[in-house]
Structure 1
Amino acid sequence: MRDLALAPPSTPPLTGGLADSLFERAAASPTLPMLAHRTGPASATWEEITAADFRDRVVALAKGLVASGISPGNRVAIMARTRHEWTLLGHALWTVGAEVVPVYPTSSREQVEWILRDAACVAVLVEDEQGVMTVGPVCAALPRLRHVWQLDAGALDQLAARGEYIPQATVDSMRRIVLPDSTAVVAYTSGTSGHAMGCALSHRGLAFMCDTLLAGWGHTAAPAGEQASVLAFLPFSHVYGLMIQVLCVRGGLLMGHEPDFGGDSLSSALRGFRPTYLYAVPSLLEKIYKNFLHAAQQSGRGAVFERAAGTARDFAAALERQRLGRGSGPGFDLRLQHALYERTVYRRLRAALGGRVLRATSGGSPLSRELCLFYEGIGVYVHDGYGLTETSGGTTMQPLGREKSGTVGQALPGTEIQVAADGEILVRGPSVFQGYVGDAAATRAVLRDGWLATGDLGRLDSEGYLTITGRKKDIIITSSGKSVAPAALEQRLRMHPLVHQAVVVGDNRPCVGALITLDPDFLTDWRAALSLPGDATAREAREENALREEIARAVAAANSSVSRSESIRVFRVLPQPFDVANGLLTPSMKLRRDAIVRHYALEIDAMYQSRSRPERAPAADESSGWDDADNVFR
């Protein structure tokens, strides 16, 4: 077992709760803009809220909460998208010592009932009528639930009006008795299988991780002398989005709110708000890359973009070797090519992100080294972060000037990381959660002598950089006993423009297989570019053959990174994507593997049966009678 811990951070110890930083900021810099939101759903105009106004709105809401009977230790659920009202109410709850229970607004009635009952919530804020329709039918089964507030029906204004008679001193005294180790958030895990569990996160845990990041890396979020700005669009219902919110408020960053994660809305928000730092997830960064390629192909410059992308990766890889002391940096020819593409390609790509983004963080699942190098090569370094709900968010970061793409960096100062003999990552530090609400047995199962057993697999190199290799529960064991981690294969498959999603399967099967969904935009353009002759029937058959061959090439490219016994030998292209609505993705966009395997059980059986060849005896170095050309397309 090997461990690593960096020096403790030079941050002052927390003495109160998360709301204190807002009041301190408002006293020191009352006119500093801190929150921003669009004045309308598609508006190009952004309204900013200063630190003083932010504080005053929070105080008014805190008074309303007191008037509504909300007291320290009470739990209140917030079931809304990423809106500035979420931030206001969250800080008002922390001001009075209440605990925030984030709930995804797309959660089903059964999921909402489970969370509200399990957390013993006394109130819930929903966003709209749909939220009321979800919560309303379960209220009778929740005797502790006293309030259901609807955001779009003026709930916050009503709360503020209700609390007008509450003295300011009452709110101040309640805020001052909040202790660092009080629970600030009960965040429910995404629940890739079974019921979600509520992770109790303390004020200290959330603040420690954010303050450490700000102390060591905050100055990289904007040019010197400028206020850093972040566009928050990831759901606050997930610990990653919540971490962004806390970090921005504690660091005095301007935080824009974009509730619509959709492509067009997010694209216009990036161009309008123009953040200096980007927080994203791998699926979004992959989609942005594919959109760049798609736009280039539509304009007849696809080949130019691919050459520019290759130059960006080569340039970034040379820079990486230089900063790690393993090379002299980009050569003259490479610098010349990079300078050419900087004028013609890269600056246009950065403009699509708002034109001011200097660096970015990707979280939620691993980001490929190739994408990290691409973004660094175009001028936006992307740090692939690591953390989970039970660690209050991030636990690692790239050391400045020693960044290594393809890893998630080193343990944050003050945090310790071990990799057990079986490859499981263990974490210890102030940000580790307090336990699962109401489930002491589950808490004991993952907390051992202060170390959190994450369930993730990884490795630490000789310099202490951590690489994530998969999840223990996701490991596939074929019928021949071969263990395969699916994440790397899925990641490489998604790099192909036509591939939208990929799930590797193969438990108790003779070989590894894959379920694949296609990107509809690229599929449309790909079909249009074929220009196949013949009648409709003949064209359809030729198109299917061509598509099968194209996906087979994507599979072959993914297989090039693994051994033969780990490679994908069969695959099936599915007609519909995995999404939250059909229950195959979590709200944080993670694959529900068990649900996918159950849902597509017949397709998986057919995939293997249609290409089995029992009459062929396997060669000495093969585990079954499957060759690289085997595939199924339906």
Structure 2
Amino acid sequence: MREFSLPALYEVPADGNLTDLIRRNAAQHPDVAVVGRKVDGQWEDVTATAFLAEVRAAAKGLIAAGVEPGDRVGLMSRTRYEWTLLDFAIWSAGGVTVPVYETSSPEQVQWILSDSGAVAALVETGVHEAAVEAIRDSLPTLKHVWRIEGDAIETLRKLGADVPEEKVDERSSIANADSPATIVYTSGTTGRPKGCVLSHRSFFAECGNAVARLKPIFNTGESSVLLFLPEAHVFGRLVEIAAVLAPIKLGHVPDVKSLTDELAAFRPTLVLGVPRVFEKVYNSARAKAQSEGKGKIFDKAADTAIEYSQALDAPGGPSFGLRFKHKVFDRLVYSKLRAVLGGRATHAISGGAPLGARLGHFYRGIGFTVLEGYGLTESCAATTFNPWNRQKIGSVGQPMPGTVVRIADDGEVLLHGEHLFTEYWNNETATADALSDGWFHTGDVGTLDEDGYLTITGRKKEIIVTAGGKNVAPAVIEDRIRAHALVAECMVVGDGRPFVGALITVDEEFLPSWAAEHGKPEGVTVAELREDPELLAEIQQAVEDGNAAVSKAESVRKFRVLATQFTEDSGHVTPSLKLKRNVVAKDFASEIEAIYRG
């Protein structure tokens, strides 16, 4: 057993709650832009004073509608300005926010709103409203449904026009640090989602210590962050609340398809995302370079960036020759890549899945450091992360200040700290299974080095045991294979089988440039190429790179290229892009059988 901890850098208020942050901002930074919002296609600043006024007006409407202290209020929307506004309005009315993914199925919506006992729901679109109305007969506690695109903010403002200011002050002060702030339903890679109760204390401990440890990139009046992660996900919520706590300017992007344009317009200094976003930026840039006949230059620049980053960790640092090459490529390539990310950002924080050492070194080498972290819904997002000035690429960093990470005798990662959830809503059995003597059992397997840096090697329940008795952690090899530009997703299989295999999907954005480079017909599809010898040879290279990270017994012997994608709509990944392994295994059982046939 091994454990590591760091002292807390932030003291959680004894009797406060998250609404204190917006009142403090208005008092201490009244004219500082704390939020940016799109108005008629243009970004406009919202000062701390103006944001507080809008929150209080919406809170009055909720109070007038009958929302009582402790009542749960559903919030179903894409990431947008109104999400953050209504989140703080619900808290200011004394309520508890229950996020619902805007992509949720009717069955999921019904379960979340009924299990939480929501008394009201705020939804984004008419489609969302219709989905809730269709199941309303099964939601006896639900009294109100307001639509954001149907002017819910103005409706609440008018509804609460006669509510006195003193009433909002009273409601805002009812919750203390240990009161529930939100019930976040887990993505549910298996089984029905569980309602994870996170207190105001959880967010104070999480965001306060994260901002303190990363203070140089959280500068009030100078720093900004553009949020494009779902705010229904706990990682998106961390971004929201950390930005308000710092405070730094927070912008929202509802549609990731417009992310490149919004990065250029908003120009954030900090970016937070999941590895797939950073993989897409790299792959898109490489594909563009290849289409312009500059593929060899890009690849040389990428190799130089990786070599340069690796040399930063070596005694003596980069050589003179390497520094010279790096400077040339900075002018030709790296500066253009940083411009794609808005031109001002020097750091990003990545979570949700491993980024991979190669991409980590590539980004640091171009002057855009991606700090990997690790956490779960139950740990209020990040529980470890790489410090801004002491990064160990390939690890997920050191424990959050004020928390403890322990590696149990069987390799499981255990967590302790004020940031942890308090319970699973209405589920004492699941709570007891996950929390024991103040320690949360994550279900993840990992190691701690001598400096307290954590490396995640897999999931206890996802460990594959081959017919020969070899234990295989899928994450290690999957991450390496998925790093290839042509690979969208990879799922290792082989439980009870004679060897390890893999299901692989092709990145449809990168495919056209690869096809053109290899003389394939324009518009050719994955289905038409899945047996193509050149494509299979390219995928084989990715597999061999993955195999280099594991022993022979753990390596992928055979793979199948699928004609389809693993998407949230197809039901194969969660909203946070985690594979639903049991669903994939069921839906592609014939493809798995084909790996082992004969």
TM-score range, shorter chain: over 0.9
Partner residue of 1:2? 2
The one-letter code sitting in structure 2 at the alignment partner of 1:292 is: A
- Normalised to the residue count of structure 1, the TM-score between the two structures is 0.91
The one-letter code sitting in structure 2 at the alignment partner of 1:367 is: L
Partner residue of 1:301? 294
1:54 to 42, 51, 54: 51
Report Cα offsets for 1:581-618 as digits up to 9, x if no partner.
Answer: 11111111111110000000111112210xx3xxxxxx
Q: Give the Cα separation in 2 of the matches to 1:4 and 1:227.
A: 34
Partner residue of 2:19? 19
Report Cα offsets for 1:495-522 as digits up to 9, x if no partner.
Answer: 2111111111111111111111111232
Q: CA deviation at 1:398?
A: 2.1
The one-letter code sitting in structure 2 at the alignment partner of 1:477 is: V
Check conservation: 1:37, 1:258, Cα contact below 8 A. no
The reply to whether residue 153 of structure 1 matches residue 150 of structure 2 is yes
Partner residue of 2:304? 311
- In structure 1, the residue corresponding to 2:36 is in which secondary structure? strand
The reply to whether residue 553 of structure 1 matches residue 541 of structure 2 is yes
Q: Give the Cα separation in 2 of the matches to 1:342 and 1:547.
A: 32
Check conservation: 2:10, 2:205, Cα contact below 8 A. no
Check conservation: 1:77, 1:125, Cα contact below 8 A. yes
Deviates more, 1:240-249 or 1:512-521: 512-521
In the TM superposition, 1:545-624 aligns within 5 A as 545-609=533-597, 612=598
Q: Give the Cα separation in 2 of the matches to 1:87 and 1:415.
A: 27
The reply to whether residue 144 of structure 1 matches residue 137 of structure 2 is no
The reply to whether residue 175 of structure 1 matches residue 168 of structure 2 is no
Q: CA deviation at 1:10?
A: 4.4
2:328 to 331, 340, 360: 340
Change (3 A) 1:186 1:515: same
Change (3 A) 1:376 1:542: closer
Q: CA deviation at 1:532?
A: 6.9
Q: Give the Cα separation in 1 of the matches to 2:535 and 2:418.
A: 51
Q: Give the Cα separation in 2 of the matches to 1:8 and 1:154.
A: 42
Q: CA deviation at 1:461?
A: 0.7
- In structure 2, the residue corresponding to 1:180 is in which secondary structure? coil
Change (3 A) 1:169 1:269: same
The reply to whether residue 422 of structure 1 matches residue 410 of structure 2 is yes
- In structure 2, the residue corresponding to 1:520 is in which secondary structure? coil
- In structure 1, the residue corresponding to 2:214 is in which secondary structure? helix
Partner residue of 1:242? 237
Q: CA deviation at 1:221?
A: 4.0
Check conservation: 1:221, 1:276, Cα contact below 8 A. no
Q: Give the Cα separation in 1 of the matches to 2:382 and 2:225.
A: 17
Q: Give the Cα separation in 1 of the matches to 2:530 and 2:180.
A: 61
The one-letter code sitting in structure 2 at the alignment partner of 1:16 is: G
- In structure 2, the residue corresponding to 1:531 is in which secondary structure? coil
- In structure 1, the residue corresponding to 2:231 is in which secondary structure? coil
Check conservation: 1:457, 1:469, Cα contact below 8 A. yes
The one-letter code sitting in structure 1 at the alignment partner of 2:519 is: S
The one-letter code sitting in structure 2 at the alignment partner of 1:50 is: T
The reply to whether residue 282 of structure 1 matches residue 275 of structure 2 is yes
In the TM superposition, 1:416-455 aligns within 5 A as 416-455=404-443
Q: CA deviation at 1:344?
A: 1.1
Q: Give the Cα separation in 2 of the matches to 1:14 and 1:56.
A: 26
Q: CA deviation at 1:399?
A: 3.5
The one-letter code sitting in structure 2 at the alignment partner of 1:15 is: D
The runs of 5 or more residues in structure 1 that have no matched partner are: 322-326, 613-634
Change (3 A) 1:301 1:55: same
Check conservation: 1:532, 1:542, Cα contact below 8 A. no
Partner residue of 2:266? 273
Q: Give the Cα separation in 1 of the matches to 2:512 and 2:385.
A: 39
The reply to whether residue 320 of structure 1 matches residue 317 of structure 2 is no
1:260 to 251, 255, 261: 255
In the TM superposition, 1:339-418 aligns within 5 A as 339-418=327-406
Partner residue of 1:626? none
Report Cα offsets for 1:220-263 as digits up to 9, x if no partner.
Answer: 245xx85210001100000000010000111111001100022x
Check conservation: 2:273, 2:351, Cα contact below 8 A. yes
Q: CA deviation at 1:173?
A: 1.2
Q: Give the Cα separation in 2 of the matches to 1:560 and 1:153.
A: 55
Please give the root-mean-square deviation of Cα atoms over the aligned residues, in Å: 1.6
In the TM superposition, 1:167-206 aligns within 5 A as 167-206=164-203
Q: Give the Cα separation in 1 of the matches to 2:62 and 2:595.
A: 57
Check conservation: 2:196, 2:377, Cα contact below 8 A. yes
Partner residue of 2:490? 502
- Normalised to the residue count of structure 2, the TM-score between the two structures is 0.97
Check conservation: 2:530, 2:536, Cα contact below 8 A. no
Q: Give the Cα separation in 2 of the matches to 1:443 and 1:542.
A: 45
Check conservation: 1:532, 1:543, Cα contact below 8 A. no
Q: CA deviation at 1:400?
A: 4.5
Deviates more, 1:400-409 or 1:253-262: 400-409
Identity of aligned residues (%): 45
The one-letter code sitting in structure 1 at the alignment partner of 2:141 is: R
The one-letter code sitting in structure 2 at the alignment partner of 1:231 is: L
Check conservation: 1:502, 1:517, Cα contact below 8 A. yes
Deviates more, 1:469-478 or 1:239-248: 469-478
Change (3 A) 1:175 1:221: closer
Partner residue of 1:616? none
- In structure 2, the residue corresponding to 1:385 is in which secondary structure? strand
Q: Give the Cα separation in 1 of the matches to 2:162 and 2:146.
A: 20
Q: CA deviation at 1:396?
A: 1.3
Partner residue of 1:463? 451
Change (3 A) 1:541 1:365: closer
Change (3 A) 1:571 1:600: same
Q: CA deviation at 1:11?
A: 3.8
Q: Give the Cα separation in 1 of the matches to 2:357 and 2:54.
A: 43
The one-letter code sitting in structure 2 at the alignment partner of 1:66 is: I
Q: Give the Cα separation in 2 of the matches to 1:318 and 1:532.
A: 39
Q: Give the Cα separation in 2 of the matches to 1:320 and 1:161.
A: 59
Report Cα offsets for 1:24-45 as digits up to 9, x if no partner.
Answer: 11112211111112224xx3x2
Q: Give the Cα separation in 2 of the matches to 1:485 and 1:328.
A: 36
- In structure 1, the residue corresponding to 2:4 is in which secondary structure? strand
Partner residue of 2:228? 233
Q: Give the Cα separation in 1 of the matches to 2:594 and 2:326.
A: 48
Report Cα offsets for 1:340-396 as digits up to 9, x if no partner.
Answer: 111111111100000000111001111101111111110011111111100111111
1:78 to 75, 80, 89: 75
- In structure 2, the residue corresponding to 1:555 is in which secondary structure? helix
Deviates more, 1:572-581 or 1:27-36: 27-36
Change (3 A) 1:112 1:542: closer
The one-letter code sitting in structure 1 at the alignment partner of 2:34 is: M
What is the aligned residue count?
593
Report Cα offsets for 1:163-182 as digits up to 9, x if no partner.
Answer: 00000001001112220100
- In structure 1, the residue corresponding to 2:51 is in which secondary structure? helix
Q: CA deviation at 1:3?
A: 0.7
Check conservation: 2:218, 2:246, Cα contact below 8 A. no
Change (3 A) 1:329 1:226: farther
Q: Which structure: larger Rg?
A: 1
Report Cα offsets for 1:12-70 as digits up to 9, x if no partner.
Answer: 63531101110111112211111112224xx3x20221111100001101110110000
The one-letter code sitting in structure 1 at the alignment partner of 2:38 is: R
